[in-house]
Amino acid sequence: MMARLHPDRYGTASQEEKQSVADQAAAVTDAYSELKQPHRRASHLLELLGGALTEGDSGSLLGPPFLMEIMELREELEALRASPDEGRLAELRARNR
| pLDDT the model gives residue 18 | 93
Residue 53: partners with Cβ closer than 8 Å, 6 or more residues away:
42, 43, 46, 61
User: Mind listing the pLDDT tens digit for each residue in 33-80?
Assistant: 989 998 888 888 888 887 766 666 665 666 788 889 889 988 998 888
| pLDDT the model gives residue 36 | 93
Model pTM score: 0.50
Which has more confidence, 43 or 15?
15
Average pLDDT across the chain, whole number: 86
Report the percentage of the chain scoring pLDDT > 70: 89
- Beta-strand (E) ranges in the chain? none
